[in-house]
Amino acid sequence: MKKDEPPFTFPKTLEEFEYAFNEYGQLRHIKTGEPFVFNAREDLHRWNQKRYEALGEIITQYVYELLEKQCNMTKAILPVDAAEGEPTSFIYLSSDALSNPSKLLVLIQGSGVVRAGQWARRLIINQDLDSGTQIPFINRAMEEGYGVMVLNPNENYLEVEKRALSTPTTSPNEASDEPAEKRERKDDKEGKKKREFYEKYRNPQKETETERIPVRENGSSEEHVLYVWDHFVSKAAAKNVFIVAHSYGGLSFVELMNQREMEVKNRVCAVALTDSAHNIWLQETSKGTQDWMQQHCCNWVSSPELLDTPLEPMLPDCPRVSAGTEKHELTSWTSLRSVFKFFGEALNAREGEEAEESASAVTTRSSSLKSKHQDL
């Protein structure tokens, strides 16, 4: 006989869960040293899933602490003019994110449960912090003199409990247009369904119904990226902006280009996409945007080929190369070194072009002065 489903009450800290991250950033059981086990209770998939989600929430807070304590980043609340009591979100900024005159790195993750500082919750729990979080990108960027902005495109609503609505119930004695025989067959069918359900969960728990109140001007990943561009990136001092966008984050970046094409072209030096979900046809990008992407973007995609192997383009937008892994969620981690090499080359090329333009302007100016002198 199956046991009753245990209550959905779970530990609130890693210690209470009896897990901790070891020196290699791997999540391990404190007593056994074993990796996290999803199926803690057999035949209770819903309970196991709820337990996994509870652990995920703790991981989110843990990563926020790492961003603040290890990376010395601070939160900036969105919207910037939020009224007291209204739903808010936030991003993380390095101390020089707005003041660094040279380079700014902007990190945008994909969709789903991941929050600021994470690429993939599954990797953090089952593999390690390096592969699943953005911290290696942040540390590398800071070592190379970048200011850093960590976006939070999925923290875009406040979840509140729905108020219970009284629903009118129909008495079994009330008249019905259905023939009695048909009604009995229907009742039988429903009764069987209920019995099967109770056989699986003899004591199913009703989950709390909630509704989501969107964060103003940040109600979706696309809105969030646009808002952060307008209120933070565009106001930053950095002459050169660099972006890493994973999965749906790539789609949000392309949407930003559609909305702020000239601004992006003027400020952004290079964009590294990792298994991006963008689509230039569905997103109706201009020919100018496509041409710019061809020159300034590169998409590291999941592939069995060796890292950086050029791959056939699927659309006329930007070059595609292998991320050196077939796992979608690992593409950012495996391509980290290649991404920073790509950024370095893009910056050198831009500075080379600027130096040429500057030299050419000086030559033109001196020859014009010379001709004026000769006229005299």
First to last CA, the chain: 108
Half-sphere exposure of 72 (CA within 13 A, CB side): 7
Strands of the chain, DSSP E: 19-21, 27-29, 74-78, 89-93, 103-108, 147-150, 157-161, 210-214, 240-246, 268-274, 297-301, 310-311, 320-322
Q: Are 113 and 119 in contact (CB under 8 A)?
A: no
Do 115 and 152 contact (CB within 8 A), yes or no? yes
Q: How far apart are CA 15 and CA 246, in angstroms?
A: 31
Looking at the chain, the number of H-run helices and the number of E-run strands are 12, 13
Cβ–Cβ under 8 Å, residues 217 and 79: yes
Contact residues for 302 (Cβ-Cβ < 8 A; gap 6+): 275, 323, 325, 326, 327, 328, 330, 331
The answer to whether 114 touches 122, Cβ cutoff 8 Å, is no
Read off the amino acid at residue 93: L
Which residues lie below 8 Å from residue 282, measured CB to CB, with a gap of 6+?
A: none
Question: 287-296 and 248-259 are packed helices; what angle lies between their axes, rounded to 10 degrees?
Answer: 130
Which residues fall within 8 angstroms of residue 206, CB to CB, at 6 or more apart?
none
For residue 91, give the 3-state DSSP assignment: strand
327 by Cβ neighbours in 10 Å (0-12 / 13-18 / 19+) ranks as middle
Residue spans of beta strands (DSSP E) within 190-284: 210-214, 240-246, 268-274
- Which of the following is catalytic: 89, 247, 335, 338? 247
The question of whether 247 is a catalytic residue gets the answer yes
- Cα distance between residue 229 and residue 209, in whole Å: 34
Q: Which are the catalytic amino acids?
A: 247
